[in-house]
Amino acid sequence: MKSFIVAFTLIITLSLSSCSEGHQNPNIIIIYTDDLGYGDVSAYGATEINTPNMDFLANNGVQFTQGYASSATCTPSRYALLTGSYPWKEKRARILPGTAPLIIDTAQITLPKMLKKQGYQTAVIGKWHLGLGTGQVDWNTHISPGPNEIGFDHAYIMAATQDRVPTVYIENGYVDGLDPSDPIEISYKRNYEGQATGKNNPELLSMMWHHGHNGTIVNGVPRIGFMKGGESAKWSDIDMADHFLNKVKNYIKSKKDKPFFLYYGMQQPHVPRTPHPRFVGATSLGPRGDVIAEADWCVGELVKTLQEEGLMENTLIVFSSDNGPVLNDGYYDDAVEKNGSHTAAGVLRGGKYSLFEAGTRVPFITYWKGKIQPKKSDALVSQLDLFSSLAKLTGSDLRADDSVDLLDTFMGNSNIGREELILEATTRTALRSGDWVMIPPYNGPAKLKAVNIEIGNSNQYQLYDLSQDISQQINLAESNPEKLNEMILRFKEIRGESYSKVKKIELK
């Protein structure tokens, strides 16, 4: 009888605690910048750009020195963030045109779906770039499947990138502000008759293209692809940061009754860099520096909103970037000319598109007032790991295969990170294991000329010891054949033999 009472009490206690746990789950906000480099944040060593608000999160949360995006470009990183799956397992996870179909299966479990099961309200505001629809999108009716079908209750997005058409916002599948008598047509193949393009009408441009980006002109900026119609729905580039931020603020203010998950995809400092006039000249680095200052201000405004709403103690903020930095990414915008002594990649080699460290090692911060104690962590963590870690945090049993539960590490209670990670850049992959990186031979240029970035190709194996050589200057492949073989074996175990068939780098 006694043991029965003990067991009974235990059951009651357990069910009560799991019940109240549901109510105590914190809000979760992922702030995801676009192309922000490891060295672009002052807390990470930038001296030419001042980022007080990003620094606030870094200095009062866990600042990871070895935090990785899953890829050196946008779409694959976002795919991995939302699914917890390696992007090289999904062939479609590569830089997408604005007309691409949705690449996340609607039957697949995703981060927002998992959190919804835990009682969350879910929203994405900002950059999407994971495709929409199933093939031929009609931009003038309900566009689906999209974010709503993969777990977001609310979605206010740009379809692809700021430099790609369609240059409109989409709210829950409908183009915001569309006039039905001026329907939108989009093509990535052909221009529409009689329409000006960056290629044919340079006299109409307020920003000149350098490579690519010579299609339809919107607000004086030539884009990738061609767009007709939709005049009343076109976004204002200089207002984009304010526009998304206002959506973010309104969302936070309206969702206080239940925990929410907000994925805030900022467009900065991706091209075209169009700071609001308030931020022009905020740095000495031209538009690229100025939009980083603008992004930093947005982070501050978000924090302020949480403070005003009394949500600071109950909100976990994750701050990171989808891939590493690039200066000239297709427009003449003074990014190179005004760079001065700024190092967007910090001490790391490479940049966006690169298998070298700067391609994927990015600013990565977790902040939660009162719950996370300030510290710097050298643990190896990937954005992939957020899925399983946030599942653990919120009481879900779901885990994604490639996503390691590192909740204790993200909370600053442990220094243990992953043991290994497959790095990806434009469909090529490499292995990080412990402090070692092995990059297998790949054909193709060592440097992407247009963007002036070393992307990691070589006809030789490359082996680097990051504990001694963080800038990847000394290839140890020849002098340490044992380590090299160990790494190759492990790499093939994970990637299979066919990895090296990927030889062409993809930019479109």
Using CB under 6 A, list all residues that contact ligand NG6. 34-35, 73-74, 95, 129, 161, 163, 211-213, 224, 270-271, 323, 329-330, 507-508
Tokens of 346: 């910090």
424 binds, among ligand NG6, Ca ion, none (CB under 5 to 8 A by kind): none
Contacts for 423 with CB less than 8 Å, ≥ 6 apart: 68, 72, 355, 359, 360, 429, 430, 431, 432, 437
Q: Cα Rg for the chain, rounded, in angstroms?
A: 23
199 binds, among Ca ion, ligand NG6, none (CB under 5 to 8 A by kind): none
488 binds, among ligand NG6, Ca ion, none (CB under 5 to 8 A by kind): none
Nearest of 135, 144, 175, 182 to residue 157 by alpha carbon: 175
129 binds, among ligand NG6, Ca ion, none (CB under 5 to 8 A by kind): ligand NG6
Contacts with Ca ion by CB under 5 A lie at: 34-35, 74, 322-323
Of 266 and 437, the one with the shorter C-beta distance to ligand NG6 is 266
Least CB distance to ligand NG6 at residue 364 (A) = 17
Least CB distance to Ca ion at residue 159 (A) = 15
CA atoms within 13 A on the CB side of 309: 20
Nearest of 153, 151, 152, 131 to residue 143 by alpha carbon: 131
CA distance 386 to 402: 11
Least CB distance to ligand NG6 at residue 209 (A) = 9
Of 322 and 385, the one with the shorter C-beta distance to Ca ion is 322
Q: What are phi and psi of 305, to 5 degrees?
A: -60, -45
DSSP class of residue 429? E
Of 51 and 321, the one with the shorter C-beta distance to ligand NG6 is 321
Of 163 and 294, the one with the shorter C-beta distance to ligand NG6 is 163
Could you tell me where the beta strands, DSSP code E, fall in 266-351? Answer: 315-321
Least CB distance to ligand NG6 at residue 237 (A) = 14
User: Counting Cβ atoms within 10 Å, is residue 99 exposed (0-12), middle (13-18) or buried (19+)?
Assistant: buried
Of 37 and 61, the one with the shorter C-beta distance to Ca ion is 37
Of 98 and 173, the one with the shorter C-beta distance to Ca ion is 98
271 binds, among ligand NG6, Ca ion, none (CB under 5 to 8 A by kind): ligand NG6
Of 74 and 157, the one with the shorter C-beta distance to ligand NG6 is 74
212 binds, among Ca ion, ligand NG6, none (CB under 5 to 8 A by kind): ligand NG6
CA–CA distances in Å: residue 271 to residues 267, 292, 350, 371, 445 = 8, 12, 18, 36, 23
Of 63 and 268, the one with the shorter C-beta distance to ligand NG6 is 268
439 binds, among Ca ion, ligand NG6, none (CB under 5 to 8 A by kind): none
DSSP class of residue 378? -
268 binds, among ligand NG6, Ca ion, none (CB under 5 to 8 A by kind): none
Query: E strand or H helix at 485, and its extent?
Result: helix 481-495
Least CB distance to ligand NG6 at residue 347 (A) = 22
CA distance 323 to 38: 9
Query: Helix (H, G, I), strand (E, B), or coil: what is residue 388?
Result: helix
Of 46 and 96, the one with the shorter C-beta distance to ligand NG6 is 96
Contacts for 205 with CB less than 8 Å, ≥ 6 apart: 198, 217, 220, 221, 222
Hey, which residues does 429 pair with through a beta bridge?
A: 424
What is the residue whose two structure tokens read 């067991």? 7
Tokens of 75: 């779409």
Which residue has the closest beta carbon to Ca ion?
74
237 binds, among ligand NG6, Ca ion, none (CB under 5 to 8 A by kind): none
Least CB distance to Ca ion at residue 77 (A) = 7
Least CB distance to Ca ion at residue 74 (A) = 4
336 binds, among Ca ion, ligand NG6, none (CB under 5 to 8 A by kind): none
330 binds, among Ca ion, ligand NG6, none (CB under 5 to 8 A by kind): ligand NG6
Of 38 and 120, the one with the shorter C-beta distance to ligand NG6 is 38
Give the neighbor-by-neighbor strand order of the sheet with 428-433: 420-425, 428-433, 436-439, 462-465
Least CB distance to ligand NG6 at residue 332 (A) = 13
Of 161 and 274, the one with the shorter C-beta distance to ligand NG6 is 161
CA distance 12 to 488: 53
Contacts for 91 with CB less than 8 Å, ≥ 6 apart: none
Of 212 and 351, the one with the shorter C-beta distance to ligand NG6 is 212
Least CB distance to ligand NG6 at residue 258 (A) = 32
Least CB distance to ligand NG6 at residue 457 (A) = 17
Query: Helix (H, G, I), strand (E, B), or coil: what is residue 17?
Result: helix
Tokens of 430: 């490499």
112 binds, among ligand NG6, Ca ion, none (CB under 5 to 8 A by kind): none
Contact 402/408 with Cβ under 8 angstroms? Answer: no
Least CB distance to ligand NG6 at residue 71 (A) = 8
Least CB distance to ligand NG6 at residue 331 (A) = 8
